Structure 1
Amino acid sequence: MINILALEDSPPLQSFLKTLLAASGYQVSVSAKGLDGFALLSEQQFDLVLLDLGLQDMDGQDWLLELRQWSQLPVLVLSARDGEVEKVTALDNGANDYLTKPFSANELLARIRVLLRTNTQTSAALSCGSISIDPHKHLVMVAQQEVKLTKKEYAILLLMLQNKDKVLTHNAILSQVWGEQYINRPEYIRVHMAQLRQKLEANPASPKHLLTEPAVGYRLVD
C-alpha cells in the first residue's frame, strides 16, 4: 500500500486528508509538527510527503531544506501562501510540486498520482561495485548487507553515485551537501569520507571505490 505522510497544522484539513486519502486506497500518517514528521520518516517507509508551509514548530521551507540533505522523497507542498516568490522558493528548495489552498479533491489526487508515477520511474537503485543505494527506500547495501549511514554520509554517497566516475571537487560536495556557506571547508568532507570508507570499503586504508583526487576532491569508481 502507498504510504503518505501529511504535515498539516489545520485540524479540519487534517481530517479531510485522512478521509480522502484513505478512501482513495492510501495509507496516511498526519502530523502538525515538522520534528514529528522527521521522527516518522526515521521509523517508517513513505512514498510521498504532503507539506504545509505553516507548521506548528517550524517553517515548511526550512523543513524541506533539511529533508533534501538526505532524502529525495517526493514532496507536494500544500499552502495558502500563493505568492510567486513563495512558490519559486519552495521549488528551489526541493519541492516537486506546489498546490495552493483551497484546492479540489480531484486535483490533489491527480497531483499525487503524477508524483508517485514519476517517482516509480526514477527510483531505480544506483550501484558501484558491491555498493548500492535505493533512493526510494533510502536503503544502502554493501555486498547484499544493509549499512546504516548518517544523513550527511548518505547525501555524500548519493551525490557520488549520481556522478560516478566523475571527479567532484571539495566545493561541489560542500555546496550540494552542506550549503554554499560551507565552501572552502574541506575538513568537513574528510571526516565523513573516512567514516564512509570504514562502512563501505573492504579495506578502508586502501579504498577501491571512494578515491581521493589530491588537492581537488573525490571520485567514485567501480
Structure 2
Amino acid sequence: MINVLVLEDSPALQSFLKTLLGASGYNVSISAKGLDGFSLMSEQSFDLVLLDLGLLDMDGQAWLLEVRQWSQIPILVLSARDGEVEKVTALDNGANDYITKPFSANELLARMRVLLRLNTQPSLALQCGNIIIDPHKHIVTLNSSDVKLTNKEYKILLMLFQNKDKVLTHNAILSQVWGEQYINRPEYIRVHVAQLRQKLEVNPASPIHILTEPAVGYRLVG
C-alpha cells in the first residue's frame, strides 16, 4: 500500500482527495496544518506528499523549506496560486511538481504516478531513450556513439538526468552550474540547452527529451 500525506485546508477538497485516492488504492492521511504534517511524518513513513500552499497554520512555501532540510520525499504542490513567481519559488524550495487548481482527477493521478515511479528508480540508471550518461567516467553516448560536450553542457545534462521527469527551474540550474551570482540570468542557460538539443535530439527544433517549461525551466523526459 502506498502512503500519501495530504496537507490541504479545504474540507471539500479534503473529501474529494480522500475519496479519489482511496478508490485508486492509496492509503491517505489528511491534515489542514503544516505542523501536524511534520508530526505525522515523524510517526509513519509516507511515499508522497500533496501540499496546498495555503495551510491553516503556516505558508506552504515555508513548509517546503523546512521539510527539505531532512527529507527528500516527493512533493506535489496543489495550489490556486497560479502566478509564475509562486510556481518557480515552490520548485526552487524543493517541490517536485506543481499543479494549479482546479485540476482533473486524471491529471493528478498521472502526476502522482510519475513522482512515485521516479522515486523508486535506481539512482544509477542514467538513461533517456538512446542517450546514456556515465557520471563516473563523464561520458555521454547517443546510439552508442560518444558525444562531445562542453563542461557546462555536461553539468546541465547531468542535472537533468539526476532529476528526470522533474521540472528544474532556471535558478536551480544557474545556481549549481554557474553560481549564486548568476541567478535570474536565464539567457545563460538557453544557449547551452540549444547546443545540447543540437547534439542529442533527432529534431532540435522539436525536442522530445529536453523540454522547455515556459517561463519556469526545463524537464528531461523519455
TM-score using structure 2 length: 0.55
Indicate yes or no: 2:93 matched with 1:56. Answer: no
Output one character per residue of 1:124-154: Cα deviation in whole Å (capped at 9) or x when no partner: 9xxxxxxxxxxxxxxxxxxxxxxxxxxxxxx
Question: How many Å separate the matches in 1 of 2:22 and 2:123?
Answer: 24
Structure 1: runs of 5+ lacking an equivalent: 125-179, 181-222
Q: C-alpha deviations, 1:141-170, integer Å up to 9, x for none?
A: xxxxxxxxxxxxxxxxxxxxxxxxxxxxxx
The list of structure 1 runs, each at least 4 consecutive aligned residues, that deviate by more than 4 angstroms after superposition, is none
Matched, 1:93 2:93: yes
Structure 2: state its 5+ residue gaps: 125-179, 181-222
Q: How does 1:108-147 map to 2 (within 5 A)?
A: 108-122=108-122
* Residue identity in the other structure for 2:89: T
State the shift of 1:47 in Å: 0.0
Letter in 2 for 1:54: G
Q: CA deviation at 1:8?
A: 0.1
Cα distance in 2 for residues equivalent to 1:71 and 1:36? 16
Shift of 1:31: 0.2
> What SS does the aligned partner of 1:17 have?
helix
What percentage of aligned pairs have identical amino acids? 85
- Which residue in the other structure is 2:28 paired with? 28
Q: How big is the alpha-carbon RMSD for the aligned residues of Structure 1 and Structure 2?
A: 2.1
2:107 is matched with: 107
SS of residue matched to 1:29: strand
Summarize the alignment of residues 30-49 of structure 1 with structure 2, pairs less than 5 Å apart: 30-49=30-49
Query: How much has 1:55 moved relative to structure 2?
Result: 0.1
Paired residue total:
128
Q: TM-score, normalised by structure 1?
A: 0.55
Letter in 1 for 2:65: L
CA distance in 2, matches of 1:76, 1:82: 14
Change (3 A) 1:63 1:25: same
